[in-house]
Structure 1
Amino acid sequence: MSFNINVRARNNVKVTGNGKTTLMLAHGFGCDQNMWRFMLPLLESTYKVVVFDYVGCGQSDTAYFDRKRYETLDGYAEDVIEICDELALENIVFIGHSVSSIIGMLAALKSPALFAKIVMVCPSPCFMNFPPDYFGGFEKGDLEELINLMDKNYIGWANYLAPLVMGQNNGSELIKELEDSFCSTDPTYAKSFAKATFFSDDRAKLTRLLVPTMILQSSDDNLASVDIGQYMHEKIPNSVLKVVDSQGHCLHMTAPDVVFQAIKLFLA
């Protein structure tokens, strides 16, 4: 790591709460650390909590944006490792939403000593279909069209994606918030993250993840089906799968109490 990088400013790192166990909360694509706000009051009384924004998201310092670094999920995993190094963290519990579950896995494969446990909220190791063996939910051509829509009509892209991700039944306020979050992210950075998110295929790495892992899957999720959670559970050696009776891809926002109880039980 270069010594002239201000990691805390780069990733808008914040540390709250108190406790012997450190939780690192990592947001999903098109989001920022604010998406964890429903979970924070539940966690801060028992745990030390680290939140941050990936470069290009939220209040991160976009001066550090490097197109080559962030064209794959490995660049985001490096961010996670550098934040841990900066804060002198070890044996953390990494809680990743959506693509951050995979980013956390990649970081754990590079620096296993940093991680005690991993919680994956609505994860998917690959969003593309590879029939007949694997169905990630999307044809590659459909994903390419979605990326192209970002160039042609960014607001339209956000309007289309937000209800798909949040779940149509989860209230207009949450859908609007996600839509606004998508829209507030500069397309320059959002497109890199979108490509890294939707075109990655990290299925082959699942069997190498030895850190104890809990997979939290929504019973009705347009982006990551229960079958994907089951697939990951079968591949990750030391894993448990919990299916939450809920709609949408953002359980930490729509069912924070259930997620909190599951985390507490997993850490006990």
Structure 2
Amino acid sequence: MTIDVLERNNVKVMGTGSKTIVFAHGFGCDQDMWRYMVPSFVDNYRIVLFDYVGSGKSQIHNYDSQKYNDLQGYAQDVLDVMETLDLRDAIFVGHSVSSMIGMLASIRDSKYFERIVMLGPSPRYVNDLPDYYGGFDKRDIEELLTMMEMNFIGWASYLAPIVMQNNERKELSEELEKSFCSRDPHIARQFAEVTFFSDCRVSLQQASVPTLILQCTDDSIAPIEVGHYLHAHLKNSVLRQMTATGHYPHLSQPEETSQMIKEYLTSV
């Protein structure tokens, strides 16, 4: 059976610019999370939005637990979308785990990528002390995964405000909680496990595409140490510290996020 990639990943294309920007959402989210950013780029770029299988309006019947038990399965989907659209030298903007998914895809086939923008990235969420601080002990992740199994709704309401920050803007964490809850619990749990136990540190030395690392302030998922580690180990990388707090600056501070990306794209 031939799979329609554009339907499988609910691909949307807009704008008419000569350069293409591919926006890739993070765990527990979908392409709608980019809605505050798209207007800043649509007049000058061709925009590609998509949902990973199991997220948003993707075709959930195409979910393969064996394929998606590794970030490489998601990287393959990114390459499928880019190949189907016949993209070359695109700008890939990945939030959170999508930063590493995009990097892995670029290592496999760099012709699709001109630059990568990593928004709140982490190559490894679990601490590997004394040499590496990722922000989480293994036990923390295991407890989070257990909570997802035992009480999925409770997990979502617990985690959303912690990772969103911006406590004075309750509507942001409410939107994130709603997004978490709209996922299939079994798929969400597997994606969480694959994400939080992934280790892309070895792959960093293989990456060659110029990269912007956008580091948020008070990010409970990707602390500042992670940003510095990435910058130190990723050649052709630029690290910028944002004033935006939390892990979702494209929702909480879309203007600053868009401006920093634009400055980077016009810096050469």
Q: TM-score normalised by the shorter chain: which range applies?
A: over 0.9
What is the CA-CA distance between 1:154 and the residue it aligns to? Answer: 0.3
What is the CA-CA distance between 1:169 and the residue it aligns to? Answer: 2.6
Q: Is the Cα–Cα contact under 8 Å of residues 7 and 86 in structure 1 kept in the other structure?
A: yes
Give the aligned residue type for 2:71. Answer: L
Deviations 1:82-140 (A, max 9, x none): 00011111100000000000000000000111100000000000110111111111111
Provide the rounded CA distance (Å) in 2 between the counterparts of 1:98 and 1:146. Answer: 17
Give the aligned residue type for 1:186. Answer: D
Q: Is the Cα–Cα contact under 8 Å of residues 8 and 83 in structure 1 kept in the other structure?
A: yes
Residue in 2 that maps onto 1:21: 19
Shift of the 19–58 alpha-carbon distance from structure 1 to 2, 3 Å rule, reads same
Residue in 2 that maps onto 1:233: 231
Q: Is the Cα–Cα contact under 8 Å of residues 166 and 252 in structure 2 kept in the other structure?
A: no
Q: Is the Cα–Cα contact under 8 Å of residues 81 and 107 in structure 1 kept in the other structure?
A: yes
Provide the rounded CA distance (Å) in 2 between the counterparts of 1:266 and 1:242. Answer: 10
* Residues 21-170 of structure 1: pairs in structure 2 closer than 5 A: 21-169=19-167
Residue in 2 that maps onto 1:214: 212
1:224 aligns with 2:218: no
What is the CA-CA distance between 1:81 and the residue it aligns to? Answer: 0.1
Provide the rounded CA distance (Å) in 1 between the counterparts of 2:100 and 2:163. Answer: 17
Provide the rounded CA distance (Å) in 1 between the counterparts of 2:205 and 2:246. Answer: 27
Residue in 2 that maps onto 1:204: 202
SS at match of 1:15: strand
Gaps of 5+ in 2: none
Residue in 1 that maps onto 2:183: 185
Q: Is the Cα–Cα contact under 8 Å of residues 244 and 256 in structure 2 kept in the other structure?
A: no
Give the aligned residue type for 1:174. Answer: L
Aligned residue pairs: how many? 266
Provide the rounded CA distance (Å) in 2 between the counterparts of 1:164 and 1:77. Answer: 28
Q: Is the Cα–Cα contact under 8 Å of residues 33 and 52 in structure 1 kept in the other structure?
A: yes
Gaps of 5+ in 1: none
Give the aligned residue type for 2:212. Answer: M
Provide the rounded CA distance (Å) in 2 between the counterparts of 1:158 and 1:36. Answer: 20
Residue in 1 that maps onto 2:247: 249
Note the aligned Cα RMSD (angstroms).
0.9
What is the CA-CA distance between 1:174 and the residue it aligns to? Answer: 0.7
Percent same amino acid at aligned positions?
50
SS at match of 1:130: coil
Provide the rounded CA distance (Å) in 2 between the counterparts of 1:170 and 1:177. Answer: 14
**Normalising by structure 1, what TM-score?**
0.97
SS at match of 1:56: coil
Q: Is the Cα–Cα contact under 8 Å of residues 170 and 247 in structure 1 kept in the other structure?
A: no
Shift of the 170–133 alpha-carbon distance from structure 1 to 2, 3 Å rule, reads farther
Provide the rounded CA distance (Å) in 1 between the counterparts of 2:98 and 2:198. Answer: 12
Write out the 4+ residue segments of structure 1 that deviate beyond 6 Å after TM superposition: none
Q: Is the Cα–Cα contact under 8 Å of residues 24 and 95 in structure 2 kept in the other structure?
A: yes
Q: Which moved more, 1:117-126 or 1:254-263?
A: 254-263
Shift of the 179–26 alpha-carbon distance from structure 1 to 2, 3 Å rule, reads same
What is the CA-CA distance between 1:179 and the residue it aligns to? Answer: 0.1
What is the CA-CA distance between 1:170 and the residue it aligns to? Answer: 5.4
Q: Is the Cα–Cα contact under 8 Å of residues 37 and 258 in structure 2 kept in the other structure?
A: yes
